[in-house]
A and B are shown apart, each in its own frame.
Chain A
Amino acid sequence: MNEVALISGMFLVTFSVRYVLFAVAGKVHFPPWLSTGLGFVPPVVLTAIIVPAVLMPQGELWLSWDNPWLLAGVFAVVVSLVCKDLLTTIVAGMVFFMLLRFGFGL
């Protein structure tokens, strides 16, 4: 992949999104439905990436109790719901995943 094009493109869209309202400063109004809709964007996009990553970690559907990606993913969701802390979720999820893979050889 052409990395210069990738980074220039990503820079351009990211900066434009952040700058456009500053540039015109207050001549535009957001309808409330648009603000609400934008609020759904991050969790929805992230979920659309996570679900295939844990259900098909090696390219094929692996819906089984010996899929460590799936087990550790479910575990991480539970940890996150209980303790509501990002760092704890990452560490606990990774430790559990490593345990499954290298401890139990899944």
Chain B
Amino acid sequence: MPDAEGAAKSIAQQRRTEFIGGAKATIPLIIGAIPFGIIFGTLAEPSGLSALGALAMSMFVFAGSGQFIAIGLMAAGAALPVIIATTFVVNLRHMLYAANLVPKVRHLPQRWRIPMAFGLTDETFAAVSNRYMCDDDLTHAHWFYLGSMAAMWGNWQLCTALGVGLGEIFPDMTSWGLDFAMSVTFIGMVVPYLRNTPMWAAVIVAGAMAMATVAMPHKLGLMVAAVSGIAVGLSLHMLKQRKEARQEAAS
């Protein structure tokens, strides 16, 4: 059966092409994640997470900002339920990504959907969104997804290990003020969001409320601050929308 053999080979080739394409498309995004991984690994031990814990967290949790926030909270002495609840809240945005991708995974069996869900990071979402926007044959596009997440995951492990290693070599790094590395990283992540009034208001309210509630036990103030900021931002956003709708109706 030369024909069937040829077809099977071409499927394997298509899959490989997609997989490599996915990994390649993720490289620019991986470069952005490298400093995060290294800083995470370096800060883990000073924050109270063991080297093994840091590696295991990168392996199983695989969520950059969630992991960062977790060690930040550990360093500040937060209780375990608060850390887990914060991780949940911070990662809720991934549900938006998933909602967006549902039409693309609907036809796949659960054995595909489970690993794909595990690898649904900001970076892989960005890479696969571009792929899914192409008009060409999408039959094997889930291999592209797999390639993207494999590259992202592998790099994340490597960078965490590198950071942990650096932390071991320079154990007095904490006294260098590396806690500021986390703050400055977060600043660089927040500022690009500040593009409109509701977002500015949300962030200012959250910052002020975080200060006002700083004495609350187990860092619970973080939740209060976040909810306050979201409520203000969302209200302003809706007011703005209503105003725009009214202006449109008037014109």
Contact = CB atoms under 8 A, between A and B. Distances in A.
Interface residues of B, number: 89
Contacts of A23: 110, 113, 117
A6 B182 CA distance: 20
Interface in A48-85: 48-57, 68-69, 72-73, 76-77, 80-81, 84-85
B169 interface: no
A104 interface: no
Given A54-B183, A73-B183, A6 B188 contact: no
A42 B149 CA distance: 22
A36 B237 contact: yes
Contacts of A43: 189-190, 193-194, 199, 202-203, 206
B193 to A, nearest CB: 4
B74 A1 contact: yes
Contact of B62 (A14, A42, A73, A80): A14
A89 B180 CA distance: 12
A92 B127 CA distance: 28
A69 B180 CA distance: 7
A37 interface: yes
Contacts of B120: 18
B91 A11 contact: no
B57 A80 contact: no
Interface in B196-241: 198-199, 202-203, 206-211, 214, 221-222, 225-226, 229-230, 233-234, 237-238
Contacts of A56: 214
Contact of A87 (B35, B66, B98): B35
